[in-house]
């Protein structure tokens, strides 16, 4: 069964250390793509997703502009982050691991998404069938060529290398 990612009800959030003392959170609110999913054969699932880099929001316009600049994501040159699955394995309790290729900032690296169980299908008031799930992973900014950093005079760096990512996905198909 082919599902379409509902862009109005899906997002990609991130969390990264700031100045070695606190976390800064943000999100991309334009996530799109397709998911092949059959609850009778979940290991045959596949995912192709795209995140619009221009949709980044950290609730601070100046920071968002900096993140879109060539210093970080370079959104004009690399306007999308993509994920294409390569394998799905069971992780127990209805959870899954989805291996795939993440392309960001012109660099493609393998990542593994830890996926919670997929919800039961429900019919919405508009006649669509819906499912939802949440997936998480952790990446290194440096692995994707996003290396800009400022050393702090007290030691450490301005922005941490490791980034925690959470994907909240709602998907639809025609009844």
Backbone angles phi, psi at 53, to 5 degrees: -60, -30
* pLDDT at position 20 over 90: no
23-40 confidence digits (pLDDT tens): 788 899 899 999 999 999
132-174 confidence digits (pLDDT tens): 999 999 988 788 776 666 444 554 444 556 678 999 999 999 9
CA dihedral of residues 157, 105, 37, 42 (deg, nearest 10): -50
Residues 6+ apart with CB under 8 A from 126: none
Under CATH, which number does the domain 2-174 receive? 2.40.128.110
Domain ranges of the chain: 2-174
Gap between the Cα atoms of 162 and 6, Å rounded: 28
89-137 confidence digits (pLDDT tens): 999 988 999 999 999 999 999 999 999 989 999 999 999 999 999 999 9
The pLDDT score that the predictor gives to residue 160 is 59
| Distance, CA of 100 to chain centre | 12
In contact, 132 and 155? CB cutoff 8 Å: no
In contact, 91 and 116? CB cutoff 8 Å: no
57-79 confidence digits (pLDDT tens): 988 898 899 889 888 889 999 99
When comparing pLDDT for 147 and 55, which is higher? 55
Residues 6+ apart with CB under 8 A from 90: 42, 43, 96, 97
In contact, 111 and 94? CB cutoff 8 Å: no
Site of tokens 């989805």: 98
Gap between the Cα atoms of 127 and 49, Å rounded: 24
In contact, 110 and 101? CB cutoff 8 Å: yes
| Distance, CA of 60 to chain centre | 20
């Amino acid at each position: 069964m082919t599902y379409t990612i509902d862009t109005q009800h899906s997002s990609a959030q991130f969390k990264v250390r700031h100045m070695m003392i606190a976390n800064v959170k943000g999100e991309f609110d334009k996530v799109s793509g397709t998911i092949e999913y059959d609850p009778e054969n979940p290991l045959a699932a596949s995912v192709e997703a795209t995140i619009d880099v221009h949709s980044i929001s950290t609730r601070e316009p100046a920071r968002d502009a900096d993140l879109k600049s060539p210093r970080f994501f370079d959104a004009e040159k690399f306007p999308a982050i993509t994920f294409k699955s390569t394998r799905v394995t069971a992780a127990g309790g209805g959870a899954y691991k989805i291996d795939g290729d993440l392309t960001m900032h012109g660099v493609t690296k393998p990542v593994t998404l830890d996926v919670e169980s997929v919800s039961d299908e429900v019919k919405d008031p508009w006649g669509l069938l819906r499912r939802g799930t949440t997936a998480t992973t952790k990446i290194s900014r440096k692995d994707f060529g996003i290396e800009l950093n400022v050393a702090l005079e007290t030691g450490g760096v301005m922005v941490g290398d490791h980034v925690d990512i959470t994907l909240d996905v709602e998907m639809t198909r025609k009844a």
